Amino acid sequence: MNSPNSPAPSGRLSSIMQEDRLFPPSAEFSKRARIQSMEDYRRIYADAMEHPEKFWDNLAKLLPWTTPYTRVLDWQPPCASWFVGGRTNASAACLDQHVAAGRGDKRAMVWVGEPIGERRELTYRELLAEVCMCAGGLVKLGIKAGDVVSIYMPMTPELVIAMLACARIGAVHSVIFGGFSSEAIADRNEDAQAVAVITADGGWRRGSQLPLKKNVDDALVRSPSVKHVIVLKRTGQPVSMTPGRDIWWHDLVADMPDSMAPVAMDSEAPLFILYTSGSTGKPKGIEHTTAGYLLWAKTTAEWVFDLRDDDLFWCTADCGWITGHSYVTYGPLAAGTSILIYEGAPNAPNEGRFWDIVEQEKPTIFYTAPTAIRSFMKWGMSHIENRDLSSLRLLGTVGEGINPEAWIWYHEVIGGKRCPIVDTWWQTETGGIMMSPLPGATPTKPGSCTMPLPGVVPEIVDSEGNPVDTGEGGWLVMKQPWPGMLRGIWGDQERYRETYWSKVPGKYLAGDNARQDADGYYWIMGRIDDVLNVAGHRLSTIEIESALVSHPCVAEAAAVGRPHDVKGEAVAVFVTLRSGEAGEVLKETLRKHVRHQIGALAVPDDIHFASVLPKTRSGKIMRRLLRDIAAGRETVGDTTTLEDYTVLAKLRDDE
Ligand code: WTA
C-alpha cells in the first residue's frame, strides 16, 4: 500500500478540504418528522448507548415473532447473535403482518418498465399472493430451508418476489447483478453451492436485450450444484430450455395456491448472501441473517427516510447490490411503505426518463448514487427544466462520497431547495445505513454524512488503534456490534476475522478513511487502499476530486497516486468533461483551480482527460485500475466487477 519513500504507516491523513455551508431542515419539514430536533436525536442516541439491549429489545418487539427470543445479544467477538432463540420470517414481516393489520389494499409496489407504457401496481395483498405462489413453486422443486438460490434477473417485480419467496421458505438468496458475466455467475454458484438459479430470458437495457438466460447457460457448464433453472419470460427473446432442468416461471407458479404459511426461521438463520468485491482476490460472499438484518433495514429506513404512510419511496438501486436489498426490498416493505421500481437505464429512451417518472408517478422520496447525480449534471438542464418535481420531499445519496458541488446541484435543481438531503454512509457488510443526517433534525453540510445513527458507535483511529485528533483523518472503525452487521464471509470465517477484526483488534474495520470535524460531523475520505501519499502527506481521494468537480468544465474526476522518485507519490487525476476543450490550456486552468481550492500539495502532476472512467456496476470508480494506467503498468487483479469492459482499452486510447 505504501510506496518505498513513505513514512511509517500511521493511518493518519491530512485534511485539506474546508466546507462551511450549513443547511438546517426547514421548520415545516421538522414539524412533521419522526425525529424533529437534535435534542431528540441526542436523547435517542444516548438511550441506545447506555442501554443497548433494552433499546433493541423495544424495537425488535415490533417484528412478527412465532417464537420469542430469550436473549437480545450474545456477543463473542467477532461473532454476534441477536435475538437468540427467536423465530420469525422476513417475508411475513414484509407482507403478512401488513395484510393482517388491514393494510392489504395499500400499494406495495409501483413498477415502471423500461419500454414506454409498461407499468404494474401490486397491493400488499397481491404481492403476498405472488410470493406465496413462487414459494410454492420452489418447494415443488424440492428446494428447502438452508438451500442457496442464485437470482440473476432484471429489475422486475418478480425479482423482489423471488427474494421474498426464498425468504418465505428459508432458502438463502444470492442475488447476482444482471450486468455480470457468466464467469461471475459461475464463481458465485460454486462458492455458495447454489441448487437453483432464478433468471429471465432477457432484460431491457437502454433499448437492447441482455442475454440473461444465455449467460446462465454458459455459467452452468461450471456449476454442477445447480439442479433447477427458473426462467421468467420478460423480453420474449428466443432461449434454449434444457428439459428436466429448466422451467418457465409461469409454468411453475400456474397451479400454485396463493397462500402458504411462512417457515419460522431462527433469528440467526442466513437470509441472504451478497457477493462484493474485495480490493484483491475473489469476491466475498457477505452473509446476513434474518432478524437482526431485518430490524436494522426497517428501523434505519424509518429513521433516515422519515417514512410516512402516504410516501412513495423511489430507491433507484438494482437489487443486485445491497441498497436494493435493504432500501428497495426489506427496509421499506417491512415498514409498510409503497415502493417505486424502475426497470431500466436513466437515459432510456432519453436523459429525461427519471424526471418523466417523477412527474408521472409522484414519488415523495428519491434515493440514488452520486455517480448518477454527476451524470444528470453532465446531461444538462434541458432534460429537467420542464418537469414537475414538486412531489419530492426528501432526497438521499449512497455509494460514494458526494462532492459538495454535486450536493448543491442536487439540492437546488432536483430538490428545489426545499428537500433535505440525506448522505448515507454504509456498506454491504453493515446491512443498512450507519451514518446519515436525520432529515427533520440534522443541519447538513454538503459532503458530510454527518452523524452516526443510534446504536452505531464509530471511532477514527490510526494504525495502532489510537484515536486521532479532531480534524485529522484516520481509519473508521465501529466499537460496538449492531443488529444489521454481517455475520461472516460465506464459507470463510478466517477471512472474516482477518479482513474486519484483526487490524484494529476487537473493532470492526470498515476499510474507509474518515475525519470528524469540530462540530462532531463525520467526513468519509475514501477507501484506505486509495490513499495518496505525497511527500509524506497522506491525502484523501475525495478531497482532490471534489476540488476538480467544483470547476464548471469538469463532470467527474478520479485521483490516484503514481510512483514518484522524490515525492513518493505524485498526484495523477483522470477527468471527464462537461464542457471545454481537453488540452494544455485547460490542464493549466485546472491546476490553478486545485491550488486555489485546496492548496499546492494537492496540485495534480498528471492530468488525463478521459471519455469515461472505469466503474463498478454500482457506480464506484475503480481507482485501483487507474493506478495501473497512471503508472504505465499492465492491469493485474480482478476486473470482473467492471461495469463496462471496454473502458480500460478506451482509457489507454485516450492517452
Ligand atoms: C463507499 C454501499 C462516502 C464507502 C451501501 C463504503 C460512501 C463503500 C458512502 C461501501 C457515503 C458508501 N459517503 N462513501 N455516503 N456510502 N460509500 O458495499 O467507501 O457497495 O465503504 O455499499 O462505499 O460500498 P457497498
**Tens-place pLDDT, residues 554-575:** 999 999 999 988 888 899 999 9
Given a contact cutoff of 8 angstroms between Cβ atoms, the answer to whether 272 and 325 are in contact is yes
* % residues pLDDT > 90 (the chain): 84
Q: What is the mean pLDDT of residues 306-334?
A: 97
pLDDT recorded at residue 617 = 77
Atom number in ligand 1 closest to CA 428: 18
Q: Which residues line ligand 1 (CB under 6 A)?
A: 276, 321-323, 398-401, 423-428, 449, 510-512, 524, 527, 618
Atom number in ligand 1 closest to CA 524: 3
**Residue of minimum CA distance from atom 10 in ligand 1:** 427
Q: Out of 79-83, 110-114, 540-544, pick the least confident.
A: 540-544
Expressed in angstroms and rounded, the spacing between residue 482 Cα and the centre of ligand 1 is 18
Expressed in angstroms and rounded, the spacing between residue 373 Cα and the centre of ligand 1 is 15
Q: Does the pLDDT at position 640 exceed 80?
A: no
**Residue of minimum CA distance from atom 3 in ligand 1:** 401
* % residues pLDDT > 70 (the chain): 96
pLDDT recorded at residue 8 = 43
Q: Does the pLDDT at position 379 exceed 50?
A: yes
In a domain, 288, yes or no: no
Peptide bond into 420 cis (omega under 30): no
Expressed in angstroms and rounded, the spacing between residue 266 Cα and the centre of ligand 1 is 29
Find all residues with CB under 8 Å of 166, minimum gap 6, and list them.
135, 138, 149, 151, 172, 173, 272
In a domain, 178, yes or no: no
Q: Does the pLDDT at position 631 exceed 50?
A: yes
Report d(CA 261, CA 259) in Å as an integer.
7
In a domain, 176, yes or no: no
Expressed in angstroms and rounded, the spacing between residue 427 Cα and the centre of ligand 1 is 5
Expressed in angstroms and rounded, the spacing between residue 624 Cα and the centre of ligand 1 is 16
Q: Does the pLDDT at position 5 exceed 70?
A: no
Expressed in angstroms and rounded, the spacing between residue 53 Cα and the centre of ligand 1 is 27
Cell 474546508: give the residue: 18
Q: Out of 177-186, 247-256, 453-462, 580-589, pick the least confident.
A: 177-186
Expressed in angstroms and rounded, the spacing between residue 66 Cα and the centre of ligand 1 is 35
Look up the pTM and report it: 0.93
In a domain, 218, yes or no: no
Distances (CA, A) of 39 to 6, 42, 72, 424: 44, 5, 27, 21
In a domain, 629, yes or no: yes
Question: How many Cα atoms occupy the beta-carbon half-sphere of 239 within 13 Å?
Answer: 30
CATH of the domain at 536: 3.30.300.30
Tell me how many helices (H) and strands (E) the chain has.
21, 31
* Residue whose CB lies within 8 A of the most ligand 1 atoms, among 400, 410, 422, 521, for a mutation test: 400
Peptide bond into 349 cis (omega under 30): yes
Please write the tens of the pLDDT for every residue from 294-303: 999 999 999 9
Expressed in angstroms and rounded, the spacing between residue 322 Cα and the centre of ligand 1 is 10
* Residue whose CB lies within 8 A of the most ligand 1 atoms, among 323, 425, 531, for a mutation test: 425
**Residue of minimum CA distance from atom 13 in ligand 1:** 401
Expressed in angstroms and rounded, the spacing between residue 400 Cα and the centre of ligand 1 is 5
Total number of domains constituting the chain: 1
In a domain, 597, yes or no: yes
In a domain, 277, yes or no: no
In DSSP notation, 152-184 reads E--SSHHHHHHHHHHHHHTPEEEE--TTS-HHH
Domain that residue 599 falls in: 530-654
In a domain, 566, yes or no: yes
Whose CA is closest to 527, among 13, 9, 107, 179?
13
Atom number in ligand 1 closest to CA 435: 15
C-alpha cell at 126: 397481491
Report d(CA 61, CA 31) in Å as an integer.
27
* Residue whose CB lies within 8 A of the most ligand 1 atoms, among 293, 524, 618, 620, for a mutation test: 524
Amino acid code (one letter) for 338: S
By three-state DSSP, how is residue 200 classified?
Answer: strand
Q: Does the pLDDT at position 2 exceed 50?
A: no
pLDDT recorded at residue 18 = 76
Whose CA is closest to 485, among 291, 264, 281, 263?
291
Given a contact cutoff of 8 angstroms between Cβ atoms, the answer to whether 427 and 296 are in contact is no
Binning pLDDT at 50, 70 and 90, where does residue 281 land? low
**Residue of minimum CA distance from atom 11 in ligand 1:** 425
pLDDT recorded at residue 181 = 87
Q: Supply the DSSP symbol for 435.
A: B
Report d(CA 570, CA 358) in Å as an integer.
44
Report d(CA 117, CA 301) in Å as an integer.
30
Distances (CA, A) of 33 to 259, 306, 363, 393, 542: 36, 6, 17, 11, 32
